[in-house]
Amino acid sequence: MAIKDTFNEINITPLTDIFLVLLIIMMVIAPLLDQQGLNLAIPEIGAPPDDKKEFKVINIEILETGDINIEGKKVDKGSLVYTLQDLSKEKKDGLIIQADANAIHRDVVFVMDTARTAGIENVSIMQRNQGEG
């Protein structure tokens, strides 16, 4: 009877191969992960400014039904970009979106995308109170 030699060493070659493959995959995928997010301007805490400047902003309401009102008038979604372009010439300080609490997220994103297409850079969002309107 022959005595079997005991296995005293671990072969790490397959493990090294796996790590090298994973490293190459990560090096290829890492540059693709750069995603553009929203640029959010966080307000600074401090004393309110002394000047009582009157801001000229466009007010948009998004109702629970999906209807869009600009300055109290209902606007068709197809003509929204043209309406915003015309209004932004007079009201250059930006846009305030007031959305109902039960409004569909898709409608809010649609208005934000349309505002960006119309060239409006400053967009604020707030929840519309139930008693308004």
Q: How confident is the model at residue 94 (pLDDT cuts 50, 70, 90)?
A: confident
Residue 39 has pLDDT above 70, yes or no: no
Query: And the tokens for 93?
Result: 């300080």
The residue segments making up the domain with residue 97 are: 58-128
> Please, which residues have CB within 8 angstroms of residue 102's CB and are 6 or more apart in sequence?
64
Query: 12-22, pLDDT tens digit by residue?
Result: 899 999 999 99
CATH number at residue 85: 3.30.420.270
Q: How many domains does the chain have?
A: 1
Q: Which residue has the tokens 């060239």?
A: 119
Residues 22, 27, 28, 29, CA torsion sign: positive
- Kindly report the backbone phi and psi dihedral angles of residue 81, in degrees, each rounded to the nearest multiple of 5, phi listed first: -65, -40
Q: How confident is the model at residue 52 (pLDDT cuts 50, 70, 90)?
A: low
